[in-house]
Amino acid sequence: MVKRKLGALEKVEADLPNLQHKIRRDPKSYIEDFRAQHYQYESHREIFMAAPASTTETGLISLRELIDFLAHVADCYPQITKEFPQQLIDILSQHHLILQPELREKIVGSLVLLRKKELLDSATLLQTLFPILISTPSKTLRALVFQKILMDLRSSNAKATNHKLNRIMQTVLFNLVTSDRTSSKGLWAIKLTRELWKRQIWSDAKAVEVMKEASLAQNEKVVVGGVRFFLGGDKEREEMEDESSDDEAIDMGQVRHQAGINKKTRSNARAVAKARAAVKKKERKKSQPHPLNFSALHLLHDPQGYAESLFSKHLQNTKSKLNLDQKLLVLQLITRLVGLHKLHIMHLYSYFQKYLTPRQPSVTSFLASLAQASHDLVPPDDLEPLVQKIANEFVSEASASEVASAGLNAIREICARQPLAMNETLLQDLVMYRKSKDKGVMMAGRGLLSLFREVGPEMLKRRDRGKDASIGLRSGDRKEKRFAEEAAGGIEGLELLEKYKDEERRKKRREAGLPSDGEDDEDEEANWDAWNVDDDEDSDDSGDWVNVQSDVEIDFSDSEDEKDGPPSKKAKSKSTEESKDEDAPAEDKEEESAEAKFSKLATTRILTPADLAKLQELRTEAAVNALVPGAKGRQANQNATRHRDDPLTAEEIEGLAALSAGKQTREERIAHAREGKTEQHKSVTAKRKERKEDQGKSTTNKEKARRKNFLMTLGKAKSKNKRSLVQTRAVLKAHADRARRGGRRGNVGCVN
């Protein structure tokens, strides 16, 4: 008897994946099978609902597999599976505490899958998952749900911002944080918001509001989470952006080259197309304007009220449960807010009084916070006793050198922000420390001196003032800054642009053979025609009136870029107005020379987009140059490069204290010298070789010969021994000849 042959399908008893595959291809034919499986699922669900906690695996097919199957093919039979998502939601939200972990994860995954197939909307999904995230005690489920929520929010914001969904979610988070201030559930709101902030999906005031409420909570963890967000969230966002921009650098040339050499397959072709699309997308992204994202600190509503309530709730309140580190974080946030928004909190400075002793743990952080909290609108009366106290407690011959240098640095940082906090006698005393034997103290003293040479030389002794300051004082250039006096503003880096333009013009003239200092108006005019519609002198005083010239002239001037023509008219009239407003207060006599130049450029010209781009470039260049050690001192550079938003850290206050830590041991010195260097010494050739290999360049013939397998060379070596004299001569001759010609292929086509 011959055995009956079994078809592949007959062998399998119950193969849901197989059925799933068949249904995907032809949903109509398999509707009966699907219906059967749906009833099967219904029965299993019934069994399950009767005893949700039981762990009986029923035979071949479990509820989990059925759910998986249904979720995968649900989109083929929307009528039959109408209730399926809701059933899953019910199971999950009612029984998530007692479900088997695998089933639970499968249900979450299936819900997300249904969301992807659009059988379920995002809001419902999030409203299902979020309560579970908060309430479940299982760590793995929390991680899974968190990841899914995040993914869903990301994907629904991928193409365009889904404002509705974001608003719903933000409201949910806000309510979570504000409803119960003592519970630690707010941590989830923080985690979610921070993650979305980092990815720039949420960058609006509402998200910041959530964090603000979190930092005003009563639970320590929540408070710290909220505070940390304000202190580090923006930096994290920037880093993330940097990472994402430079991670996928595709070398298009290499890809194309490889595609030319390797076997031509469809998948290869696809990979090339993909790479091309990626590069194109990246380029497009590069040309797009940078998204204007405000930092969280700037998006706060009512920073004054916020800072005050933070201060009174966490720092002044004696019942606050925060420990010192947490308090320091809060203090950092408050002082940053004060410095950035120029706030005034009544008792903040007296609060510091208690902590300014060298014995206080992490006193440098307190010092940094104090410096951060001082700005030019703080009454000097508030700061003066603090400065005095720092000087008394920290800076003395008797105190340790690290302590003294930290104190001096702190005083310098305070005075850099509010010079009026210093009095003459104290300053003259402190400046004497520049003669200290200890290097750290000496540097700190010098820093203070150079600061006051700039901001208040008349407070220094005559011999300490330095050349520039003395000359300035004598000629009356320098004037003491009064309390709350505002300097006239300008466009940062405009003088750089002016200089650059001047140089360019000279170069052009030199090339043309003209004296480099002469004027060439017509050239300039031509340049401006490219951008301006009408370039006549009276437009400056005509304000928002625009003289319309004859049609011919307009046509002519529009010829180069038609699109920019009409709006530029408006832009021009507007910008002239603005620039006028700008230099109205700038007519101070003593700043005549510098200011005159600037006003000339800003008022006589309109800065084209090209100019603005150049301006930006010059600015960054100047910033980079400032970092290179050169003529200017390091201290001045530090102040120049610091942005107003950047925090002041304890390390900066400690400063060069490391120098005053005494002599290093030999080992320390060696370790210090070795810090930045690579491990092993390598010869120049080895380095070159490595670089060559990295670049993917080929090897020389010599190298190939050297690397050739020994056994392959044996035959030739043997026969070489047996060669006759004549043969040897012929070979040598041929070799010499070849060398003269330049190899087997010769030097044909070579230039030399």
**DSSP result, 402-459:** HHHHHHHHHHHHHHHH-GGG--HHHHHHHHGGGG-SSHHHHHHHHHHHHHHHHH-GGG
Site string for another protein, 50-69 (x = CB under 8 A): x-----x-xxxx--------
CB of 301 to another protein, least distance (A): 47
Among 17, 47, 392, 670, binds another protein (CB under 8 A): 47
Among the candidate windows 29-37, 274-282, 335-343, 449-457, which touches another protein by CB under 8 A?
A: 29-37
Angle between helices 439-455 and 634-641 (to 10 degrees): 60
- The residue (of 10 and 118) whose beta carbon lies closer to another protein is 10
- The residue (of 38 and 434) whose beta carbon lies closer to another protein is 38
Among 37, 219, 401, 418, binds another protein (CB under 8 A): 37
**Residue 13 engages another protein in binding (rule: CB under 8 A):** yes
**Nearest C-alpha neighbor of 408 from the set 448, 461, 372:** 448
**Residue 40 engages another protein in binding (rule: CB under 8 A):** yes
The label of the residue with tokens 């700043």 reads 591
**Nearest C-alpha neighbor of 634 from the set 598, 659, 663:** 659
Q: Which two three-digit tokens encode residue 426?
A: 């104290």
Rg (CA), the chain: 37
Residues 197-256 that bind another protein (CB under 8 A): none
- For 377, the enclosing helix (H) or strand (E) is none
**Residue 31 engages another protein in binding (rule: CB under 8 A):** yes
The CA angle 397-400-406, to the nearest 5 degrees, is 100
Among 5, 10, 702, 740, binds another protein (CB under 8 A): 10
- The residue (of 47 and 594) whose beta carbon lies closer to another protein is 47
Among the candidate windows 21-29, 340-348, 674-682, 704-712, which touches another protein by CB under 8 A?
A: 21-29
**Residue 480 engages another protein in binding (rule: CB under 8 A):** no
Report the C-alpha gap between 97 and 138 in whole angstroms.
8
- The residue (of 37 and 157) whose beta carbon lies closer to another protein is 37
- The residue (of 41 and 531) whose beta carbon lies closer to another protein is 41
- The residue (of 44 and 336) whose beta carbon lies closer to another protein is 44
**Residue 86 engages another protein in binding (rule: CB under 8 A):** no
Residues in binding contact with another protein, number by CB under 8 A: 33
CB of 24 to another protein, least distance (A): 13
Among the candidate windows 44-52, 583-591, 610-618, 718-726, which touches another protein by CB under 8 A?
A: 44-52
- The residue (of 9 and 484) whose beta carbon lies closer to another protein is 9
Among the candidate windows 37-45, 401-409, 637-645, 668-676, which touches another protein by CB under 8 A?
A: 37-45
Under 8 Å between Cβ of 574 and 582: no
Among the candidate windows 48-56, 411-419, 624-632, 670-678, which touches another protein by CB under 8 A?
A: 48-56
Report the C-alpha gap between 12 and 147 in whole angstroms.
36
Among 24, 29, 526, 714, binds another protein (CB under 8 A): 29
DSSP 291: P
**DSSP result, 585-618:** TT--STTHHHHHHHHHHHHHS---HHHHHHHHHH
CB of 73 to another protein, least distance (A): 13
Instruction: Enumerate residues 6+ apart whose C-beta is below 8 A from 627.
Output: 637, 641
CB of 50 to another protein, least distance (A): 7
Q: How many other CB atoms sit within 10 Å of the CB of residue 92?
A: 22
Among 33, 283, 503, 578, binds another protein (CB under 8 A): 33
Q: Which two three-digit tokens encode residue 178?
A: 């504000």
Region label for 746, one of left (φ > 0), alpha (ψ between -120 and 50) or beta (otherwise): left
- The residue (of 18 and 616) whose beta carbon lies closer to another protein is 18
Q: How many CA atoms lie within 13 A of 296 on its CB side?
A: 29
**Residue 667 engages another protein in binding (rule: CB under 8 A):** no
Report the C-alpha gap between 693 and 662 in whole angstroms.
46
CB of 5 to another protein, least distance (A): 14
Residue 224 CA, distance from chain mean position = 22
- The residue (of 44 and 64) whose beta carbon lies closer to another protein is 44
Among the candidate windows 6-14, 118-126, 330-338, 467-475, which touches another protein by CB under 8 A?
A: 6-14
Strands (E), 522-583: none
**Residue 16 engages another protein in binding (rule: CB under 8 A):** yes
**Residue 92 engages another protein in binding (rule: CB under 8 A):** no
**Residue 591 engages another protein in binding (rule: CB under 8 A):** no
Among the candidate windows 40-48, 174-182, 232-240, 458-466, which touches another protein by CB under 8 A?
A: 40-48
Under 8 Å between Cβ of 339 and 375: yes
- The residue (of 15 and 524) whose beta carbon lies closer to another protein is 15
- The residue (of 57 and 525) whose beta carbon lies closer to another protein is 57
Report the C-alpha gap between 313 and 300 in whole angstroms.
18
Residue type, 104: R
- The residue (of 48 and 306) whose beta carbon lies closer to another protein is 48
Task: Please state the length of the chain.
Answer: 752
Locate all alpha helices (DSSP H) within 262-347, ordered by sequence: 266-287, 303-310, 324-341
CB of 45 to another protein, least distance (A): 9
Report the C-alpha gap between 584 and 604 in whole angstroms.
14
- The residue (of 71 and 451) whose beta carbon lies closer to another protein is 71
**Nearest C-alpha neighbor of 402 from the set 440, 357, 431:** 440
The footprint of another protein (CB under 8 A) covers 9-16, 19, 22, 26, 29-33, 35-37, 39-40, 42-44, 46-47, 49-50, 56, 58-61
